[in-house]
């Protein structure tokens, strides 16, 4: 859920603790116009988005995936995948037909 920032339209005064406030809201929620703390008018600020993607890309690299015991497969053709990273005991390839056959006993 996004965090939206709001600022008092007419400046900071008591009883609010600070001039700006952060609010968790869904993207479809209407924009707030009144401060929930003091009842005075507020306006939404335009803020820089958080940059979490870079951290995710660094932690999901092939070396880290293999070190943690997970496997990463890359699609080579329709229904076929080859291991790009992972422990030695993980299968080198995956095939849709073979997997379906192996899972039949679970039905």
Residue 52 has what pLDDT?
56
The backbone torsions φ and ψ at residue 85, rounded to the nearest 5 degrees and listed phi first, read -160, 150
Same domain, 38 and 68: no
The strand order across the sheet containing 20-24 reads 20-24, 3-8, 42-44
How many domains does one find in the chain?
Answer: 2
Read off the pLDDT band of 62 (50, 70, 90): confident
In a domain, 56, yes or no: no
Q: What is the mean pLDDT of residues 60-86?
A: 88
Mention every residue, 6+ apart, whose C-beta is less than 8 A from residue 11. 19
Q: To which residue do tokens 């329709």 refer?
A: 78
* pLDDT tops 80 at residue 107: no
Residues of the domain holding 41? 1-47
Distance of CA 67 to the CA centre of its chain: 23
């Amino acid at each position: 859920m996004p965090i939206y920032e709001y600022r008092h339209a007419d400046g900071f005064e008591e009883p609010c603790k600070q001039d700006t406030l952060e609010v968790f809201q869904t993207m479809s929620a209407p924009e707030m116009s009144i401060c929930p703390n003091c009842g005075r008018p507020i306006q939404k600020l335009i803020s820089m988005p958080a940059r979490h993607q870079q951290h995710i890309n660094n932690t999901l690299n092939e070396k880290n995936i293999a070190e943690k015991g997970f496997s990463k497969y890359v699609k080579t053709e329709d229904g076929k995948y080859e291991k790009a990273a992972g422990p030695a005991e993980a299968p080198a390839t995956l095939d849709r037909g073979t997997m379906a056959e192996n899972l039949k006993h679970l039905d």
